Structure 1
Amino acid sequence: MNISESVDRLNKMIEDVGASFIDLKFCDLYGRWHHLTIDTSIIGEKLFTVGIGIDGSSMGYKSIESGDLTIIPDINTAFVDPFYDLPTISMICDITESSIEKPFHLDPRFIARKCESYLSNTVNGATALFSPEFEFYLFDEVEIAVKPHYSCFSLLSLEEDETGRGADIRHQEGYHHIPPADAFNNFRNNLSMMLKEANIPLKYHHHEVGAMGQQEIELGFLPLLNMADNVMLVKYFVRNLAYKEGISATFMPKPIQNASGSGMHIHLYLEKDGNSLFYDGSKPSCLSDTGMKYIGGILKNGKALFAFTNPSVNSYKRLCPHYEAPEYLFHSEANRTAAIRIPSYAKNPQEMRIEYRPSDATANPYLSFSALLLAGLYGIRTDIQAPDLVVGDFESQPSKVKKRFDRVPSNLKEALDALKREHEFLMVDNIFTEELINAWILLKSSEIDMIEKGISPMEFYLYYDT
């Protein structure tokens, strides 16, 4: 679409909804949106040719001495934003250098675009399709305080036991629960309608295992960049709808001790001419040689991948026994404790796929999806054959079988150390750069340092009376 067509399309949207403002959203390295708002009266070709200048140093992208960057809206992402009082059209932006002919090399959307281009050239016209499952909690009241003399968190849910409603969900028994115990079905219905209005395909929604308001929604399949945009949109919609309804939403992987954590399982496959390249009906589990090599690449680079798919300290508190979370890097059919699950209900030429189960929504989706794709393509490119599928319970396997598979990283530092050692698979065609990887490691190491130096309530519980 040329510049003139983009302007015409935007002007038609403005006219159709009577929009007063355009909201421009752009992503930092963490995977968090920032925004600025402009009046519709200044809309013209310059918005798409010159863009809007921003201070990259305030987002951690550049030094204060040379912080100028530019954002350019992508008209294909335009939607009517339902969370503003006055009619507003929102668009997601690419970030460029102040000379807009040069993309900004750390822009997460630019990295995703490079990754898609590399795939098309490497696997002759193939497309990578992604479908995430979002798990999140809704709480009725939340208190969070981090001060030198006062540190706490408190979570209240009307679904928890002993609230006196007579319709409480017992601990860890929320899976597919129905109303009235499922207090948030209407929330999910409202969310579904809003996502539909924004052209985001939703497969289903339901209550998850966690008794204190854990939810799940799953999206249909889309290419990498489109789905990464939609991940950002879903989180934006969930948080803002919760705020509008007087409750609070979190995608934090493990907000409640001894309760189910929230992941973002990712279904994915390579598609060409309407068929999955992972399908071969003559092979075990109908998984083609291409699919097995793709899995081999993910398992080979498995620990380093966690630095992008599970990039928070809290991520690793979810990856523990008894909560359907992976502990080892193995693949299996229908097994929800596997790092890679082969869904037994999708064995056909059009839908054959794998499910990557470790990841969570603290990830930057542009980076995590790209890293997953590059790891799989590394397996195809270097002809890595995945080990045989593990059948049955992993813990009951003979020791010689278990020794073939690595444990998942036990903490974020271990994942970052793996990334330092093993990141060649990300460097192909300069998609990820040394500068990006070093910036990511520094960013995440500072989080570890902050948490390690902080004083937690648990320390007072254990040591105050010593």
Structure 2
Amino acid sequence: MAVKFPQLSTGQEVIAYAQEQQIEMVDLKFADLPGTLQHLTVPIGELNEALFAEGTGFDGSSIRGFQAIHESDMLLVPDPTTATVDPVFQIPTLSLFCTVRDPSTNGPYSRDPRYIAQKAEAHLKKSGIADVSYWGPEIEFFIFNGARFDQDTRSGYYFIESEEGIWNAGKDGANLAYRPRHKEGYFPTAPTDTFTDIRSEVSLKLTTFGIQVEKHHHEVATAGQGEIDMRYDSLVRMADSVIAYKYVLKNVARAHGMVATLMPKPLFGDNGTGMHTHQSLWKGGKPLFSDPEGYAGFSQMGLHYIGGLLRHSPALLAFCAPTTNSYRRLVPGYEAPVNLAYSQRNRSACARIPMYFPHPHAKRVEYRCPDPSCNPYLAFAAMLMAGLDGVIHKIDPGEPMDMDLYDLSPE
């Protein structure tokens, strides 16, 4: 059973908690510039107040996007509010997310993705537009039985192994059928959905990181596509949660002898893997995107925010869809956006206003371009800056497109 997230705030509290949980090792986690989780592990004897004040050293030149070799000394400083028992390791291990410091200035490191996200949150508050932004990414993934790939000077190939893949419908030997066909995998129960227990295990382990899971289900594609939805949270907290989500998902799959991938488009001819990102602004405990008289119950500020997202989408894609494979996902016919437009309920639009509930606090925009190959710290910060630019400059998003945008001609 997963350990409950302790919600600590100081180094002293973390040290006491580690003693209470009989922790033996401490895992210090941070993301590199592309968004891959890195870690450094120290014995429990190294967990002291100096660690939270001064940090511990590492080679910044060996981390992608960080330092050159002649200025490689960097510091990891753990954030005590992120302390929890790591749900992956067998040895009792405390997990801490860290920020990166530059020892030459003793200040935050400008290329630390987490620090960039923190600056975005601080900018929002300083602007006076809102106190907080809330984020709710819908992270999809595939779980395969295996994946083989190679490339050299004379050849290149990849081969995906999936017992659930529809291409195995006619295989020789034991064949239990019950495989979702291409684009027909949304919501089937067992025995067609063979990954319910794995998704449930991931969901339970995520609670260790203080993540509230709202639901999980099989997704549209064949071959084990799934989704686990987390309850919305503030920007940095949710970016931490996305990193933890990927970490737990991949390790749970591996423990079952399988491999999880968040690659945007691993299968040709079927739905890709998105990270549709719901977002809203709040001030004084009140939602700012709600107006009962507005289009789809949306406020003028909310529409201007959408205008900012649409105006800056060409630049946002560098952060939200950063890989070449991302653009194999962004094609017509697979619930991925291809036009800069907004609408209510419309999953072919780039920006969608969900209409599940009429409550003011449920009003938000869903930006559908991102995929989980992105660095969430950078992607969330970039989307917030684009939306705020729309609010500040009152960028008009134009008329809503309440139609299937895939039916439009290229002109």
TM range, normalised to the smaller chain? Answer: over 0.9
> What is the distance in 2 between the residues matched to 1:193 and 1:284?
38
- SS at 2:216 equivalent: strand
The answer to whether the 8 Å contact 1:274/1:350 transfers is: no
Q: Which residue among 12, 19, 28 is the counterpart of 2:16?
A: 12
Q: Report the CA distance between 1:99 and its aligned residue.
A: 4.8
Q: Does 1:359 align with 2:370?
A: yes
User: Hey, what's the Cα distance between the residues in 2 that align with 1:7 and 1:327?
Assistant: 47
Give 5+ residue unaligned stretches, structure 2.
Answer: 1-7
* 1:239 Cα offset (Å): 0.5
The separation in 1 between residues aligned to 2:208 and 2:72, in whole angstroms, is 36
Deviation at 1:148, TM superposition (A): 3.0
SS at match of 1:265: strand
Q: Report if aligned partners of 2:348, 2:406 keep a CA contact under 8 Å in 1.
A: no
**Contact 1:176/1:206 (CA < 8 Å) preserved in 2?**
yes
Show the counterpart of 2:211: 200
Greater relative contact order (CA < 8 Å, ≥ 6 in sequence) = 2
The Cα of 1:277 is off from its aligned counterpart by 0.4
**For the Cα contact (< 8 Å) 2:86–2:208, is it kept in 1?**
no
Cα distance in structure 1, aligned partners of 2:397 and 2:178:
47
Of residues 314, 334, 347, the one that matches 2:358 is 347
Note the 1:241-390 alignment, pairs <5 A.
241-390=252-401
2:209, 2:241 within 8 Å by CA — same for their partners in 1? no
Residue in 2 that maps onto 1:144: 149
**Structure 1: segments with no counterpart, 5+ residues:** 404-466
The code of the aligned residue for 2:127 comes to T
Aligned pair 1:131/2:136, yes or no?
yes
* TM-score, normalization by structure 2: 0.93
Match of 2:49 in 1: 45
What is the alpha-carbon distance in structure 1 between the residues aligned to residue 181 and residue 380 of structure 2? 35
> 1:100 Cα deviation (Å)?
6.8
Give the deviation of 1:230 after TM superposition.
Answer: 0.5
Structure 1 residues 336 and 158: CA distance shift in structure 2, 3 A = same
CA distance in 1, matches of 2:292, 2:111: 41
Once the two structures are superposed, residues 86-110 of structure 1 have per-residue CA deviations (whole angstroms, 9 ceiling, x without a partner) of 1001111000101573110111111
Which of the pair is proportionally richer in helix?
A: 1
- Please give the alpha-carbon distance, in whole angstroms, between the structure 2 residues aligned to 1:148 and 1:227: 42
**Is contact 1:346-1:353 (8 Å) kept?**
no
Aligned-pair RMSD on alpha carbons?
1.6
Q: Does the 8 Å CA contact 2:211/2:241 hold for their aligned counterparts?
A: yes
Cα–Cα, structure 1 residues 39 and 395, in superposed 2: closer, same or farther, change >3 Å?
Answer: closer
Secondary structure, counterpart of 2:123 in structure 1: helix
SS of 1:285's equivalent?
Answer: helix
User: For residues 379 and 167 of structure 1, what CA distance do their matches in structure 2 show?
Assistant: 48
Deviation at 1:201, TM superposition (A): 1.2
* Shift in Å, 1:259: 1.1
| CA displacement, residues 103-145 of structure 1 (integer Å, 9 cap, x when unaligned) | 1011111111111011011135521100000110000121122
Paired residues in the alignment total 397
SS of structure 2 residue aligned to 1:257: coil
Q: Does the 8 A contact of 1:331 with 1:341 survive in 2?
A: yes
Residue 95 of structure 1 pairs with residue 100 of structure 2 = yes
Cα distance in 2, alignment partners of residues 263 and 292 from structure 1 = 23
1:25 paired residue number:
29
- Would you say 1:62 and 2:73 are equivalent positions? no
- Which residue is equivalent to 1:454? none
- CA offset digits 1:57-79 (Å, max 9, x no partner): 11131111111110100011112
1:396 is displaced (CA, Å) by 5.0
Query: How far off is 1:49 after superposition?
Result: 1.3
Instruction: Provide the rounded CA distance (Å) in 2 between the counterparts of 1:356 and 1:302.
Output: 10
1:308–1:367 CA contact under 8 A, matched in 2: yes
1:106 and 2:117 aligned:
no
TM score, norm. by length of structure 1? 0.83
Task: Tell me how far apart the structure 1 counterparts of residues 214 and 91 of structure 2 sit (CA, whole Å).
Answer: 30
Measured in 1, the distance between the counterparts of 2:308 and 2:210 equals 33
Q: Is the 8 A contact 1:22 1:38 kept in 2?
A: yes
Secondary structure at 1:48's aligned position in 2?
A: helix
| SS at structure 1 position matched to 2:99 | strand
AA at the equivalent of 1:327: V
**Structure 1, 116-125 or 218-227: larger mean CA deviation:** 116-125
Matched letter for residue 284 of structure 1: Y
Once the 2 structures are TM-superposed, how far is the Cα of residue 378 of structure 1 from its aligned partner?
A: 0.3
Deviations 1:376-405 (A, max 9, x none): 0001111212111112223556x8xx87xx
Q: Give me the whole-angstrom Cα distance separating, in 2, the residues matched to 1:301 and 1:308.
A: 11
* 1:252–1:362 CA contact under 8 A, matched in 2: yes
CA distance in 1, matches of 2:222, 2:207: 27
* Equivalent residue in structure 2 for 1:393, among 392, 397, 404: 404
8 A contact 1:70–1:100 mirrored in 2: no
Give the drift of 1:10.
Answer: 1.4
Return the offset for 1:264: 0.4
The letter of the residue matching 1:40 is: I
1:74 paired with 2:85, answer: no
In the TM superposition, residue 42 of structure 1 has moved relative to its aligned partner by 2.2
**In the superposition, relative to structure 1, how do residues 166 and 289 fare at CA in structure 2: closer, same or farther (>3 Å)?**
same
Q: Is the 8 A contact 1:279 1:347 kept in 2?
A: no
Query: In the alignment, what sits opposite 1:179?
Result: 190
Contact kept? 1:74, 1:94, Cα under 8 Å: yes
